[in-house]
Chain A
Amino acid sequence: MGLFKWAQTKSPWIIHFNTGGCNGCDIELVAALTPRFDLERFGILLEGSPRHADILVVTGPVTLQVKDRLVRVYEQMPEPKHVIAIGTCAISGAPFNECYNVHGGIDTVLPVDAYVPGCPPKPEAIIDGIVKLIQKTKESEGNGKGK
C-alpha cells in the first residue's frame, strides 16, 4: 500500500452537504459523530471546508437551485475524493421524485462511490457505509493518487 492510500484509509475527513433534504439524515450524521456512536475514534473528522475534505457526504434530493453549488463544492475538493449518498432522497430523489424543483438523486450530478439507504439511515448504517467505502479504497487498484 502506497503512502497516499495509507493516508486515505486511516483518517478520511468528511464534509457534509445538504442538497435540499429534510434534515433527518443530517441529524443522524451528526449523531454518528457524537459520544454514543463516536465516528471520530476511527480518525473520521467532520470538516467545514471542501478544500480539506476527502469524502463528500451528501444528503437530500438535489434541488435545481442547489445543483450548481453542489458541483462547485465537489470541484473544490482535492483529488482523490469520494462521494457518499446518505438516505433514500440522495439515492433516487424519492419521495420528492416528481417534484418540479427536484433534479433527482445525487448520481444524476456527481459520481457516487457508496449509497446508504434508509429514511433516515441509522448512525450504525452510516458508519457501515463509510467503513465499506474505506474497504473499497483499500482494495482498489492504483496508488491512491486519484485521476
Chain B
Amino acid sequence: MSHGSIIKIPFGPQHPALKEPVNFLFEVDGETVVNVKPRIGYNHRGIEKAFELRTYTRNIYLAERICGICSDAHTTCYTQAIEELLGVEAPLRARYIRVIIAELERIQSHALWLGLVAHEIGFDTLFMYIWRDRETILDIFEMISGNRIHYAMNTIGGVRRDIHAAMMPKIKKGLDLMEKRVKYYLDVVQTEQTILKRATGVGILKPKDAVDLCAVGPILRASGIKNDVRADDPYAAYNEIPFNVITCDGCDILSRIMVRLEEMLEGVEIARHALDSMPEGVIRVRVPMKVPQGEVVSRVEAPRGELIHYAKSNGTTKPERYKVRSPTLGNIPALCKMLLGGYVADIPIVLAGIDPCFACMDRMAFIDTKKNRKWVLTMPQLRRKYKRKCMQK
C-alpha cells in the first residue's frame, strides 16, 4: 500500500545487544522498504596496514583479532597463506586439530547466531537456552587452549597445542550434548509458531540474485546453491573427512536457520570423525623468519562464509601487502536485496539473518522529509508494533 511519501530512516551506529557499529539509511514508503544505503567503516582500524608493520609471527596475533567470533578461521587462513609462501606443509595431526577447532568454532558461532535471531524476534527463552548450551563448547575451548574466545591455536607450520587423549572424553561428551540439543532446536524451529510466523517467507533471496550479488556461506546455501570451500577447495584435513554440504531451497530466514542448525549437526559429526581418525605425530614444524618473495591467495570456509586472505611477500620478515575479504562484506549487497520490498518491522530479523555482526539496530529515528517531522522508535516498540500486526492477520 503506497502512502505517497518516502520516509528516510537512519539505522545505527549505536545498537543494543552486541554487534559492531554500522549505519544503514532506509527509505520507506508506508511500511515497505524501497531503498537501502549501507554505510560501513565504523569498525575500520587499519588492520591491513598494521600487517605490513609487524613480523609474520606477530601477525598471527593480529589476524586472530580481526574477529572475535571466527578468530580461528582468520588464523587458519593466514597461516595457510604464509605456509604456502614458505613452501612448507603443516603435519597431518596439526591439520586434523585445525579441523576440530574450526568445527567447534562453527558450532559455537551458529549457536550464538541462532540465539541472536531468537532475540530479534522477541523469543528470549530460546536465546537463553541456546546461549546456555553454547557454554559447553566454550568449556571445551578453555580446556584445549586456555581461552574461551581467542584460542591462539594456529601458528605458521602447525598448531601450538595438542589435543591429548585425556581431553577426549570431555570433548565427546560435549559433542553428544550439543547433538542432542541441536536436534531439539531443529524440532522447535519447525513447529514453534513464534518462529514460523516471523521467519517464513521473510528476507527472500532468489538463487539467481544470490549468485549475481556474490552472496557467500550459509546465505548462499539457504538459497539452494551448493557452495562450500571445505568441499570445493579442501584445506587442512577436509579432503580426508566425509561430510555433506547442507543446502535448503526456501530462500528465506527459516531456511537460513535450518541450514545453520544442520551445519551444527554436520560439524559435530566432522569433529567426532576427526577425533577418532587423528594420526599420531608432531603438531608443528619449525619455519624460518624470512619468507621468500611471492604472492598467494588463501581461502577458508568461516562460519559465515568464504573468507579470502591475500599476501604478498618481498623476502623480508614482514609482508609487503596483506588483504582480507571477510564473508560479511560479501553478503552486504545480498542483504540490501533481501530488505527491499520487505516490512520495516522485518528489518531487524533480516539484518540478523545474514550475520550477527550487522544486526545493529535499537534506536531508529524516522524522518518524514515532506513534513520535516522526526520521531524515534526503540526496539521494544518495534517488536510491539509487529506483534499487533501479527494478531490482526
Chain A residues in the interface with B (C-beta under 8 A)? 16-31, 34-36, 46-50, 60-61, 63, 65-66, 69, 73, 95-96, 98-102, 119-120, 122
A21 touching B68 by the CB < 8 A rule?
A: yes
A26 touching B45 by the CB < 8 A rule?
A: no
B42 touching A49 by the CB < 8 A rule?
A: no
A46 touching B20 by the CB < 8 A rule?
A: no
A99 touching B68 by the CB < 8 A rule?
A: no
Q: Which residue of A lies closest to B70 (CB)?
A: A23
CA distance in complex: A65, B43 (Å) = 8
Q: Which residue of A lies closest to B152 (CB)?
A: A119
CA distance in complex: A115, B132 (Å) = 27
A63 touching B18 by the CB < 8 A rule?
A: no
**Contact among A16, A27, A102 for B46, CB-based, below 8 A:** A102
B378: A residues at CB distance < 8 A: 48-49
A36 touching B66 by the CB < 8 A rule?
A: no
CA distance in complex: A51, B69 (Å) = 29
B49 touching A99 by the CB < 8 A rule?
A: yes
CA distance in complex: A24, B112 (Å) = 12
B18: A residues at CB distance < 8 A: 16, 18, 23, 26-27, 29-30
A20 touching B45 by the CB < 8 A rule?
A: yes
B47 touching A99 by the CB < 8 A rule?
A: yes
A20: B residues at CB distance < 8 A: 20-21, 42-45
CB distance from A92 to the nearest CB of B (A): 14
CB distance from A18 to the nearest CB of B (A): 5
Could you list 7 A-B pairs, sorted by A, with CB under 8 Å? A21-B43, A24-B150, A29-B18, A61-B45, A96-B47, A99-B49, A119-B150
Q: B87 contacts the other chain (Cβ, under 8 Å)?
A: no
B20 touching A48 by the CB < 8 A rule?
A: no
CA distance in complex: A28, B167 (Å) = 24
B131 touching A101 by the CB < 8 A rule?
A: no
B65 touching A30 by the CB < 8 A rule?
A: no
Q: Which residue of B lies closest to A26 (CB)?
A: B18
CB distance from B182 to the nearest CB of A (A): 17
CA distance in complex: A19, B14 (Å) = 9
A63 touching B43 by the CB < 8 A rule?
A: yes
CA distance in complex: A115, B190 (Å) = 44
B44 touching A101 by the CB < 8 A rule?
A: yes
CB distance from A134 to the nearest CB of B (A): 22
CB distance from A21 to the nearest CB of B (A): 7
A35: B residues at CB distance < 8 A: 128, 131-132
CB distance from B134 to the nearest CB of A (A): 8
B62: A residues at CB distance < 8 A: 95
Say yes or no: A17-B71 contact (C-beta < 8 A), given A24-B150, A34-B132, A102-B46.
no
CA distance in complex: A65, B44 (Å) = 8
B13 touching A99 by the CB < 8 A rule?
A: no
Which 9 A-B pairs give the minimum distances between C-beta atoms? Answer: A24-B68, A48-B16, A48-B362, A34-B131, A26-B18, A23-B68, A99-B46, A22-B68, A35-B132
Q: Which residue of B lies closest to A88 (CB)?
A: B65
Known pairs A65-B42, A120-B150; list 16 more (Cβ under 8 Å): A16-B16, A20-B44, A23-B19, A27-B68, A30-B18, A31-B131, A34-B131, A46-B17, A48-B378, A49-B378, A63-B45, A69-B14, A95-B61, A95-B62, A96-B46, A96-B65
A26: B residues at CB distance < 8 A: 18-20, 68
Say yes or no: A28-B148 contact (C-beta < 8 A), given A23-B68, A99-B45, A102-B46.
yes
Interface flags, B346-384, vs A, CB<8A=1, else 0: 000000000001000011000000000000001110000
CA distance in complex: A36, B136 (Å) = 10
A22 touching B16 by the CB < 8 A rule?
A: no
A28: B residues at CB distance < 8 A: 148-149
**Contact among B17, B20, B45, B148 for A102, CB-based, below 8 A:** B45
CA distance in complex: A29, B16 (Å) = 12
Q: Which residue of A lies closest to B20 (CB)?
A: A18
